Amino acid sequence: MNGIQTGQGAVPILTGAERRKRFFRQAGKQKALIFLSIPIMGYILFFNYLPLWGWIMAFQNYKPAKGFFTSEWVGLEQFARLFGDDRFYLVLRNTLAMSLLNLVSGTVACIFLAIVLSEVKTVVFKRSVQTISYLPFFVSWVVAANIVITFLSPDGGVFNDLLMALGVLEKPVMFLGKEQYFWVIVALSNVWKNTGYGAIVYLSAITSIDPMLYESAQIDGATRLQRIWHITLPGILPTVVVLLIINIGGILNNGFEQQMLLGNPLVLNASEVLDLYVLRYGISLQRYSFSVAAGMFKSVISVILILSANGLAKKLRMTRLF
C-alpha cells in the first residue's frame, strides 16, 4: 500500500544564495500559478486558521459585548472548571465508548461482508449486492435516524412487533428511551449505514492478493475455509491494522450527528458526546469561554492522537497517509 506522494525528486545541493536566486527565477516563471494560489491560500488562512485566534477565549471570561481585547483574563480557570465537572467525564466516557463500539462493530462487519462478497463467484449477484449495500451510506443521518425511530417505535414498530411475535417481549419497549440500549442502537445503525461502503476498501485489498497463493494452497489440499483463514485474512491484515490505527487516531472526532438525532432527554446521560457538550455550553447556554476550553481540549488531544496514529502507521511501513 502506498499513500499519496508528497516527496520530491532528488534536489541538487545548492548554497543559500543560489537557492534564493533559483527560487525567484522559478517564481517569476510561475506567475499564473501564484496568481491562482493567492485567493485560495488567503481563503484557507481566513476560514481555517483565523478562528484559531478564538482559542484565547478559553483563557478569558469572554463577553460578546466586550470582545477579545477587553474581556477579563482568567488564566486556566475555565479548564479547572472543565476538569472539575463530573458531567465532562461522563461525556468523555460516552464519546470514547461509542467511538470504540462503532469502530469495532464497523470493522468486523466490513471485513465479514468483504470476505463473503469475495467468495461469491457469480458476478451479477455480487455486483447487485454491493450496489444495494452502499445505498444507506448516501442518505443523510437525518433520514437514517428517522428510519431507526420508525423501526424501533413502541407504537407498531417492526422490531417490537417481531420480538413480541417471537415471545421475547410481552409488551412493547421504548428502546430509544432506555439508556442501556442507546450505545447498541448507535453501533447497529452505524453498521447498517456504513458497512456496504466501508467494505469496498477491504474488498479491494482482497482482490490484490496474489491468486497464485490460492491456487497453490488448493493444490496442497487446503479447504476453502482454510484458504480464507490462512491467505485472505493475513492478506488484508496490513489494511486492517492501518485503518484501525488511523481510526483510533480520530476517536474523538467520530461525529455527533447520530447522538444528536437519535438522542432525547431520557437518554442524555448515555448519548451526550463531547461535541454536543461543546454545542450545549456554547450555543444554547452562551458560555463561550467554557465551551471553547472544552473544544480546545478536544482539538488538542485529537491532533496528538491523529499524529501519533499516523506516525505509528508510517513506522509499521504499511502506508503513508497524506
Q: Based on the shown chain and the rule CB under 8 A, indicate whether residue 245 belongs to the binding site for other proteins.
A: no
Chain residues 198-237 in contact with other proteins, contact rule CB under 8 A: 200-201, 204-205, 208, 223-225
3-state SS class at 186? helix
> What DSSP string describes 252-312?
GGS-SHHHHHH--GGGHHHH--HHHHHHIIIIIS--HHHHHHHHHHHHHHHHHHHHHHHHH
- Nearest distance, CB of residue 281 and other proteins, angstroms: 9
Window of 11-19, 78-86, 93-101, 111-119 that interacts with other proteins by CB under 8 A: 111-119
> What DSSP string describes 113-172?
HHHHHHH---HHHHHHHHHHHTTGGGS-HHHHHHHHHHHH-TTT-HHHHHHHHTTS-SS-
Chain residues 53-92 in contact with other proteins, contact rule CB under 8 A: 53-55, 57
Residue of 92, 266, 301, 312 that binds other proteins (CB under 8 A): 266
Site string for other proteins, 11-50 (x = CB under 8 A): ------------x--xx--x-xxx-xx--xx-xxx-xxxx
Give rounded-to-5 percent helix, strand, coil for the chain. 75, 0, 25
Chain residues 279-298 in contact with other proteins, contact rule CB under 8 A: 279, 282-283, 288, 291-292, 295-296, 298
258 φ, ψ (degrees, to nearest 5): -55, -50
Residue of 61, 105, 107, 302 that binds other proteins (CB under 8 A): 302
Site string for other proteins, 121-150 (x = CB under 8 A): ----x--xxxxxxxxx-xxxxxx-xxxxxx
